[in-house]
Structure 1
């Protein structure tokens, strides 16, 4: 579908299954501090990783539809599992640019690897989807070794990102990747950057870590710049709006503070399958 004309002052819509995608939102803010943003965490149905891909696809499209109805100028799917589920059809469905976390991360990893041996860690859903495998297969000289790491999200959201337990879990998950002689490790979940220290200790200093948050923010910057869609500097202060589908918005704010140091004043509760704001009526809460 061709993209429609939208105002550069419109917000960027960022979506994740929970709070992990705030790493992507933060990276976008670091590069584009003048942009307004709506962040939606589907906390009522998180985690997506263990769910069937068809179910994740339904959830993701439901929320992305709502963001488009709110008048965003770009969609950012800040969730690897959701990106894998809608990778093939999201860009055809929507008339605004769609950025997902898998493509930019794969391109970065392919440019970095020296020996062609790349490791991938992600949720069960991301690994089983083989979305990364499909993109890496464009390079016949790359050998991809993957591992699902279901406990990592649980550890991060519990605030446990270092120490003996984390190292022990990481060693178990990463043993096949280390044995394969990888020189590049793709962190295929937005929670995983919080484990960077432990991952570095397990794989060693010579293995490059490629994180989806930074690569996705780079892609957002490139697309908005190329399309002339950057928010004008004279548009006033940007508006940041946070939405969550789950009832415990206090927990959302607490996790954001603990994981990212982001102080969020308000999180709007939104029902899944509903439109929070009429089309074109984006406003501050």
Structure 2
């Protein structure tokens, strides 16, 4: 594994020492070459020439190459077309930032591997608030453990909030009806505009009812205002929806589990 910047620096060092052939030969002996951030090759024309020779040799020898960049090959500016054409030979995969559930799973696995244990509410709080990348998620975990050890203090939600101030901008956030609607739509994979339309599709109706229930529980809006945010429905519809959600939570364990998970998400968003 090597970053493109390190590759470029290595090439320049060998170039100054008239040892470019040694540099290329070293990389041609590798079985699997992983290069990160190849978009930075755009500022190093001669490094591209060296990498082209390395790429060809490894590919023809049946070796493996894994390349990453912040954009697909067609959008990489400043790279030689002969390199871009070779990049297109392989499988391109669009890697997105991990979602909330995946971040929880990553933290759980990290803790299992390191023999660590943390309260569930702390794991959820960290996973919700660190949503940029995995390095930052792991950094938050390390900082939390360090603070716990240095201060001889058990890890709890208060300590997590204190530590995460160094990672994210924290402020007491007022939850809006719009925020809740978007959370519910994302959770159930329902289009936002469908939530406001007149439809009797079961999955849409339930998402709307749960949204109204959460809006009543977590916002200071009146029933009339909540109804207006759902396509101009009146307050009696909101009352009926809230009662329906309560009844279903008493009889349907999966439904109750979904609502409780959404409640936790809303609570985390407000912290």
* TM-score, normalised relative to structure 2: 0.23
Which has the larger share of helix? 2
Which has the larger share of strand? 1
User: Which structure has the larger Rg?
Assistant: 2
Which structure has the higher relative contact order (CA within 8 Å, separation 6+)?
Answer: 1
